[in-house]
Each structure stands twice: as C-alpha cells, then as structure tokens.
Amino acid sequence: YGDPSQKIDYVFKVVLIGDSAVGKSQILARFARNEFSLDSKATIGVEFQTRTLVIEHKSVKAQIWDTAGQERYRAVTSAYYRGAVGAMLVYDITKHQTFDHIPRWLEELRGHADKNIVIILIGNKSDLENQRAVPTEDAKEFAQKEGLFFLETSALEATNVETAFLTVLTEIFSIVN
C-alpha cells in the first residue's frame, strides 16, 4: 500500500459517483485500506483517500473522492468534479433503479468534468448473484454505446476492485504519457 517516503510522479484525482448505498464507500475502503464493513453508515467527513501505486516504474498517487452522502440530496457540487481525470460510475446489480439512474449521473459528470475524463461503469455487489436485477449484457451494451469501461465488482469479496482502479489509472497514465 505504498511507501510514504517515495517520490510521487503523478497525482490522479478520481471521483466515485452513483446512487446512495450502491457501495461506493466500501469500494474505496477496499481499494485504499483493504477493508470492508457490512454496516457502513452513510459516509461523513472524509473527502478522499489516497493510495500510491507504481505504473510503468512511475509512482502514481490515486486520490479517490467519495461523495460523503451528498448523493441523497443531489448536492454533488462542481468542486467535487474539479480536476478529476477519472470517474467510477457505480450501480448495484441487485437494484435496477440504481442502473436506471446511470444516464443521469453520466450527464451530470459530462456537464461538470473535463472532456477527456476516463470513466468506468461499475456494477457492484456481484457476490449477490441470486438477487441480480441488472443483466451483465445490458450494462455491457450501455457501456459500449457510451464509450465507458465496464466491470462488475464485489467490495465484499474484493472481486475486481483492484482491476477497476487499475483500468482507470492505467488509461489515465497512458493519456498523460
């Protein structure tokens, strides 16, 4: 999880967006601290967490921003998106409504963020396959149409969380290099 004394070559700001309770904070906890909590309360306080990793021999500090519960009040401000070079658009595979809201989030994101922002669509809670409400194919098709990366993750089981972040960070890295 990174040697704090190492020199940083890049800082990439990545924002997490999506409806409340889809698992954004747990995805971040898994990535930044390798932790997971089943009874996570609506996030308060912490604006972002960081983790430094190495991509092609350069140290990249990923600064991941979490909405801190603002999604409930549609109060995600432009300051949240400012300077973001990556975005993770998260829905819950067991709650179709959270997938139905993705176009709205995408519109908001495209309205606020840089045109070249790298976006990944994430269907979280893939461990709850028996409660699945959103077919993988539907999400894949949407992502393809909109030019987004796409992965299903489980913050609980730590499935694809690392891959999702690496996909975004590696793509950003290749754009700036």
Site for Mg ion in 29-68 (CB under 5 A): 43
Nearer to ligand GDP, 61 or 132 (CB): 132
Q: Contacts with ligand GDP: how many residues (CB under 6 A)? A: 19
Applying CB under 5 A, the span of 17-25, 30-38, 57-65, 82-90 interacting with Mg ion comes to: 17-25
One character per residue 9-48, x = contact with ligand GDP (rule: CB under 6 A): -----------xxxxxxx----------xxxx--x-----
Query: Which x/- pattern over 102-141 shows residues binding ligand GDP (rule: CB under 6 A)?
Result: ----------------------xx-xx-------------
For the chain, the three-class secondary structure string (H helix, E strand, C coil) is CCCCCCCCCEEEEEEEECCCCCCHHHHHHHHHHCCCCCCCCCCCCCCEEEEEEEECCEEEEEEEECCCCHHHHCCCCHHHHCCCCEEEEEEECCCHHHHHCHHHHHHHHHHHCCCCCEEEEEEECCCCHHHCCCCHHHHHHHHHHHCCEEEEEECCCCECHHHHHHHHHHHHHHHHC
Which residues within the stretch 155-174 sit at the binding site for ligand GDP (CB under 6 A)? Answer: 155-156
Q: Which does 21 bind (CB under 5 to 8 A by kind): ligand GDP, Mg ion, none?
A: ligand GDP
